[in-house]
């Protein structure tokens, strides 16, 4: 069982890990403790191709200074040789006596470091601060498991489930607190996705903005899906990040390409048609549903066909949280059971919108 000193060191390792860049590699931090529990060295992974967190920490010590010490790491030390060598071997050669790590490595190529350490006589403990470590790398671990980015699908709706009034007007269903929350979430994602229908009808900027309209520091890459051309003077073409355009209807192919470009988290904000397509294909890892206390009636539903022919085929969701945002509610829900991964292509051009800007 991890000691109080080791748990404190793990929390410090998590702080260090957050300094590293997000991308195709996980954010990892490491702390080396002396046998007495004092911090000898620290390190974090600075990006693909650079030394891993454990090696960075060890490099700060003189030869034999780590002998008998404890390494506290947020992710299981790797057991493979890529652009860098296996961290498990580096720890063994440094004379580390004990390793405490938070999460198992989910990849087939790098996993097994804990077993290698144990085989070499190193005492290994797994588990402290696992939830915090999982939250830190959840996008990366999802990418390893599925081969695609983590997908959040967002929409705003009335109490009766409408995304717009019957005349098509939709700005704004929700109030300023909800819109502020949306922009904050945009700033934390890698890519924001909309359909060509939404771009054509609503001309959204797809930026992350403050209340005064100024741009937030984090800006997602705008991704436009659909066969229609995007006008040369469309607002999205003035986005601070170069937009990506996909004419294919195959959402799996789009997500695969985004993954290859280092995108870990996708925010889908393109209206009912696009939202329904992602849900129908089993590609929605998380739903953000903003509900305003208004009634609209009519035919402009917030969600369309999601591939549910009968109640027995309903896509069961687990509610993660319910939050009040001014007069509105935000429900965060995730699939209770992973949905099917259909290889069939789907139409992904959004024709309606619920306030994307």
Q: Is 229 a catalytic residue?
A: no
SS3 57: helix
Angle made by CA atoms 306, 311, 317, in degrees to the nearest 5: 60
Question: Could you tell me which of 200, 306, 310 has the C-alpha nearest to residue 245?
Answer: 200
Question: Could you tell me which of 51, 141, 151, 69 has the C-alpha nearest to residue 105?
Answer: 141
Catalytic, out of 42, 54, 129, 281: 54
Question: Could you tell me which of 212, 152, 157, 214 has the C-alpha nearest to residue 186?
Answer: 152
Specify whether the backbone of 55 is left (phi greater than 0), alpha (psi in -120 to 50) or beta: alpha
Reported as type and span, the H/E element at residue 139 is helix 130-146
Phi and psi at 180, nearest 5°, equal -65, -40
Q: Given the structure tokens 């208004």, which residue do they identify?
A: 294
Length of the chain: 357
How far is 40 from 343, CA to CA, in rounded Å?
A: 51
Reported as type and span, the H/E element at residue 87 is helix 87-94
Angle made by CA atoms 180, 138, 144, in degrees to the nearest 5: 130
| DSSP secondary structure string for all residues of 314-345 | ---EEEEEEEEETTEEEEEEEESSPPP---S-
SS3 of 301-312: the string is ECCCCCCCCCHH
Catalytic residues: 54
């Amino acid at each position: 069982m991890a000691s109080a000193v080791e748990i404190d060191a793990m929390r410090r390792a998590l702080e260090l890990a957050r300094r590293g860049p997000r991308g195709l590699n996980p954010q990892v931090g490491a702390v080396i403790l002396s046998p007495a529990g004092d911090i000898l060295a620290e390190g974090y992974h600075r990006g693909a191709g650079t030394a891993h967190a454990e090696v960075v920490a060890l490099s700060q010590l003189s030869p034999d200074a780590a002998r008998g010490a404890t390494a506290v790491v947020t992710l299981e030390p790797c057991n493979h040789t890529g652009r860098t060598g296996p961290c498990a071997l580096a720890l063994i050669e440094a004379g580390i006596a004990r390793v405490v790590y938070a999460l198992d490595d989910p990849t087939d190529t790098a996993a097994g470091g804990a077993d290698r350490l144990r085989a070499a006589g190193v005492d290994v403990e797994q588990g402290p601060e696992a939830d915090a470590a999982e939250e830190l790398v959840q996008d990366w671990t999802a990418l390893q498991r599925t081969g695609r980015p983590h997908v959040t699908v967002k929409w705003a709706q009335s109490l009766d489930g409408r995304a717009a009034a019957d005349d098509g007007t939709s700005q704004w269903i929700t109030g300023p607190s909800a819109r502020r929350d949306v922009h904050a979430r945009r700033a934390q994602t890698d890519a924001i996705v909309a359909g060509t229908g939404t771009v054509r009808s609503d001309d959204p900027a797809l930026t992350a903005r403050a209340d005064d309209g100024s741009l937030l520091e984090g800006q997602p890459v705008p991704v436009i899906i659909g066969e229609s051309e995007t006008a040369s003077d469309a607002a999205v073409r003035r986005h601070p990040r170069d937009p990506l355009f996909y004419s294919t209807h195959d959402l799996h192919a789009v997500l695969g390409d985004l993954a290859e470009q280092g995108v870990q988290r996708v925010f889908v904000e393109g209206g009912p048609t696009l939202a329904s397509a992602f849900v129908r294909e089993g590609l929605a890892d998380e739903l953000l549903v903003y509900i305003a206390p208004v009634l609209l009636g009519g035919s402009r539903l917030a969600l369309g066909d999601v591939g549910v022919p009968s109640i027995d085929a309903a896509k069961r969701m687990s509610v993660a949280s319910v939050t009040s945002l001014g007069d509105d509610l935000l429900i965060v829900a995730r699939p209770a059971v992973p949905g099917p991964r259909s290889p069939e292509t789907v139409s992904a051009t959004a024709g309606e919108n619920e306030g994307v800007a």
